[in-house]
Amino acid sequence: MVRPEAVIFDWDGVVFDSGGAIKRMRAELADFVGREFYFGGHDAFTSLQKLGLSRRAVNSYSRKWEAIERGMNIKIFPLANAVLKELREKRCLTGIVTNRRKSLHNLRVFASSGLDFGLLDFFIMRDEFCWKEKIRSALGLKYQKLCSPIYRTSEHSKPDPRMIEPISGELRELHDFPTSVWYVGDNLVDAEFARENDFSFAGVMCGSITDREVWRARGVSIVVNGIEELVSALFPPKGREDGPRASCFVG
């Protein structure tokens, strides 16, 4: 068994209790694109553009989405900080990699989520979507106040393995890299991202995928109901032989 040296989380549906809210927002905005659209973990802006929406329309969709989300006051899962603290006590690097973009809205969502940023080593998100956001990011005091020192951005989005590049140097120094790095996600894009990086992977059933058999069919061997079960799954008591293998993927 390879001891986990780093545990990296997706944001939505894994750390952030947004699964139900996202379904509601998709339904409310279904008329905007002519049907209820499922991003499935992909970058929302890129996905909408592939549907043929103009950049202006994508921006309009984004503003509507943000307005709905602001009214929901979504928080992290109740035990998320406790899990991060326990992983830090086990001397694991901890981080988040999300396809959410660096925008004033998302920075506010992160800041008001209840997450203890002191329990994370890094937080990687997508670059800003438009030039207005880039200017605000560079010059705006609101951005500066909301930005944590652990924030990093990437021009790539999951499942592209290059999204991990902002932290890849630190990860490569870990013992038994890359299989000692665990990515925890709630959708198949997350699983593909882990596989492309040769990371180990754990699936949760509190986000997009709520059926254990869906994970099993994709060869995922470590599946938990929520991250509150993660530490015991990755660090089983001594003497147990069913702990995490060098890779979570079967076959």
Residue the block writes with tokens 């293998």: 245
Classify residue 156 as left (phi > 0), alpha (psi -120 to 50) or beta: beta
Residues 126 and 181 in one domain: yes
pLDDT per position as a tens digit, 118-137: 999 999 999 865 555 555 55
> Domain with 154 in it: what CATH number?
3.40.50.1000
**Do residue 108 and residue 213 come from a single domain?**
yes
Residues 125, 165 share a domain: yes
* Same domain? 45 vs 158: no
Segment among 72-86, 144-158, 216-230 with least mean pLDDT: 144-158
**Domain match, 172 and 219 both:** yes
* CA–CA distance, 184 with 178 (Å, rounded to integer): 14
249 located within any domain: no
Report the alpha-carbon distance of residue 87 to residue 183 in Å, rounded.
Answer: 13
Q: How confident is the prediction for the chain on average, in pLDDT?
A: 86
CA distance 64 to 58: 10
- Type of residue numbered 118: G
Q: Are residues 113 and 27 in the same domain?
A: no
One domain for residues 50 and 106: no
Q: Are 49 and 88 in contact (CB under 8 A)?
A: no
Q: How many CB atoms neighbour CB 115 within 10 A? A: 22
What confidence score (pLDDT) does residue 251 get? 37
In a domain, residue 197? The reply is yes
Residues ≥6 apart with Cβ < 8 Å to 199 = 8, 178, 179, 181, 182, 183, 193
pLDDT tens track for 173-211: 999 999 999 999 999 999 999 999 999 999 999 999 999
Cα–Cα distance for residue pair 15/21, rounded to 1 Å: 14
Residue 42 backbone phi and psi in degrees, to 5: -75, 160
184 within domain boundaries = yes
Write the pLDDT tens digit of every residue in 71-113: 899 999 999 999 999 999 999 999 999 999 888 889 999 999 9
Same domain, 110 and 202: yes
Supply the pTM of this predicted model.
Answer: 0.86
- Same domain for 40 and 126: no
Tell me the residue range of the domain where 51 lies. 19-70
Lowest-pLDDT range, 25-34, 77-86, 134-143, 157-166?
134-143
Residue 246's pLDDT band, with cuts at 50, 70 and 90, is very low
Q: How many alpha carbons lie under 13 Å from residue 86 in its C-beta half-sphere?
A: 14
Whether residues 49 and 37 fall in one domain? yes
Q: Does 99 lie in the same domain as 24? A: no
Residue 104 Cα to chain centre, angstroms: 18
Give the total number of structural domains in the chain: 2
Separation between Cα atoms, residue 176 and residue 220, nearest integer Å:
20
164, part of any domain: yes
- Whether residue 181 is found in the same domain as residue 121: yes
